[in-house]
Amino acid sequence: MVIDNRQYEAYLGTFYALMCGIAAYYCEFDPRIKSKCQFVISALWLGFVLAVSLMEAWVKFRAPLLKKYVAVDVGRHVFSALNLVESVFCLTLWVIGRDEVRKIPFVITSLMLLLQVLVVTPALNDRAKHLIVTTATTDVALRKEYGAYCDELRAELGGRKIPAAHWHIVYVAFEIIKSGLLGSVLLNM
């Protein structure tokens, strides 16, 4: 039986949306905490990017017992969840600071996140699905145990070609730049 991970991602998104919504609500009624909320949410966002993109992903692929297709599938789910949480943080910061003049680093970070969510992550997800489906055709044990899951991934691909490998470099570059920009935002608060 294949577990629908979108349900878990929805729970995760709902949790962070509620937490950020509460913060935004209190900022409306107590402007003294507005800058503190902005700082905490920005710091959390930076922490997520550093922990997931610049540590977890790198470490995961160096685990000698973890098969590549498993690491890729885990990464696919982790990065989709990361993009969701980042989007919640970004939207919350826009709501909290809507009356202020936007700082250039935050605007650039927001645009980069938008590009990641709409273009880069979907391309990397398709690459991951192709790798899993291709591995399933040669790995009998994988095909036997997770055949339905692999068929579902194949159907999601719908015959699309494998996106270019350069999307990994684009994603890493975006994460490094976003980290610097978020750091800049934090230092200027």
Looking at the predicted structure, is the pLDDT value of residue 38 above 50? yes
Band (pLDDT 50/70/90 cuts) for residue 6 is low
From its phi and psi, is residue 100 left (phi > 0), alpha (psi between -120 and 50) or beta? Answer: beta
pLDDT of 169: 93
Between the CA of residue 86 and those of 30, 65, 89, 114, what are the distances in Å? 25, 30, 5, 10
Kindly report the number of other CB atoms within 10 A of residue 132's CB atom: 22
Q: Which residues contact 18 (CB under 8 A, 6 or more apart)?
A: none
pLDDT of 100: 61
pLDDT of 1: 43
Looking at the predicted structure, is the pLDDT value of residue 19 above 90? no
Looking at the predicted structure, is the pLDDT value of residue 138 above 90? no
pLDDT of 56: 87
Q: Which residues of 151-185 are buried (b: 16+ CB within 10 A; e: fewer)?
A: eebbeeeeeeeebeeebeebbeebbeebbebbeeb
- Give per-residue pLDDT as tens, 176-189: 999 999 998 888 87
Name the least confident of 99-103, 106-110, 176-180.
Answer: 99-103
Do the Cβ atoms of 45 and 88 come closer than 8 Å?
no
pLDDT of 170: 94
Band (pLDDT 50/70/90 cuts) for residue 58 is confident
Band (pLDDT 50/70/90 cuts) for residue 46 is very high
CA 73 to chain centre: 14
Kindly report the number of other CB atoms within 10 A of residue 129's CB atom: 22
Q: Which residues contact 51 (CB under 8 A, 6 or more apart)?
A: none
Average pLDDT, the chain: 85
Band (pLDDT 50/70/90 cuts) for residue 47 is very high
Do the Cβ atoms of 116 and 171 come closer than 8 Å?
yes
Residue range 134-159: mean pLDDT, rounded: 80
